[in-house]
Structure 1
Amino acid sequence: MARIVKSSIGGTPFERLLGHNKAVMERWSSLGNVLEADGFLSSNLKEQVRRTLAQQNGCAYCKAKGKPDIKHFDEKTSIAVGFADVFLKQKSFIPDSIFHVLKQSFTDAEISELCSFIAFTTASQYFGAMLKLEATNF
């Protein structure tokens, strides 16, 4: 059971926890929608990164969609998921050498999008973990 009562505002259990402050929930969801969509990086790549992060960020709700699916991996997805793994282990202490590897396959715009997606997704998953958001069937 979640640590706080879900509000009546929001379309998902996650949004209903944020829905106690409607403006925050709306803006959080809006930014999430932008970051999850195809951009410089594909939504599939970002979903595999999200699944990777979920395995260690402590949110049961976030883990419920499953582990990364290597059937959906291409070279860029493999590198992005590897970077997410490094982030999970190192947090803000990521060596420059890791960025040199990223720059061999990604543009600066793609790296910016990947890092913003990882930061936002981690914040979302930490929020779910803090409030003990339970897994649901998808």
Structure 2
Amino acid sequence: MARIPSASPAELPADVAPLAGDPFYGILARRPEILREWSKLDTAFFGASSTVDNRIKEEARRTLAQGVGCRFCASLGTPRDEHPDAREALAVAFAELVATDHHQIDDSTFAVLREEFSDEEIVELVSWICFKLGSNIFGALMKLAPATPAEVDGYAAFVAGDLATH
């Protein structure tokens, strides 16, 4: 059971009430102004202005989620065993470095990232991974339960581009 229960959608402003059905967002909904902005940032990462393919970001997120301790985040999908796409493999390797010891990331790591990503894409990828690391830590601290099959499907639709489902 989560350490803090989700806010009741009936008690929330109309613009955030639909988001409160998600266990993660439901807890954030106790501070609607934070949920509002958090949701906007989530949407911006997967929106039309994104410079890094959602598939790459999602695989990095899945990798990151496995070791941080948020059962909800980890249950939204496990990373694939192989990454034949060089950009995806590099994003996954970077996410693993962030998850295990971000202190080992140095200029040479960024030189390798630049072999596949532009500076704008690196900023997006690194900010995405940091945002999701914070999300995972939040979920772990709140003791979120694993996602239900419906929640997994809803998140998959969100990642696929149906931004209205999240």
**What are the Cα deviations for residues 35-65 of structure 1, in whole angstroms up to 9, with x where unaligned?**
1346110011011011001001110000112
Which stretches in structure 1 are left out of the alignment for 5+ residues? none
Q: Is 1:35 the equivalent of 2:7?
A: no
Which stretches in structure 2 are left out of the alignment for 5+ residues? 10-19, 153-166
Q: Is 1:103 the equivalent of 2:134?
A: no
**Which residue number corresponds to residue 20 of structure 1?**
30
- How far the C-alpha of 1:11 sits from its partner, in A, is 3.0
- How far the C-alpha of 1:93 sits from its partner, in A, is 4.2
**Which residue number corresponds to residue 127 of structure 2?**
116
Once the two structures are overlaid, the 10-residue window that deviates more, 89-98 or 20-29, is 89-98
> Structure 1 residue runs of 4+, over 3 Å off?
70-73
- How far the C-alpha of 1:26 sits from its partner, in A, is 1.1
CA contact (8 A) 1:45 1:73 kept: no
Matches within 5 A, 1:50-129: 50-70=61-81, 73-129=84-140
- The number of residue pairs the alignment matches comes to 138
Percent identity of paired positions between Structure 1 and Structure 2: 38
Once the two structures are overlaid, the 10-residue window that deviates more, 67-76 or 99-108, is 67-76
Judging changes above 3 Å, is the alpha-carbon distance between structure 1 residues 92 and 29 closer, same or farther for their aligned structure 2 residues?
Answer: farther
Q: State the TM-score, normalized to the length of structure 2.
A: 0.78
CA distance, structure 2, for counterparts of residue 83 and residue 46 of structure 1:
11
Q: Is 1:4 the equivalent of 2:4?
A: yes
**SS of alignment partner, residue 99 of structure 1:** helix
**What are the Cα deviations for residues 77-106 of structure 1, in whole angstroms up to 9, with x where unaligned?**
011101111111222441211111111111
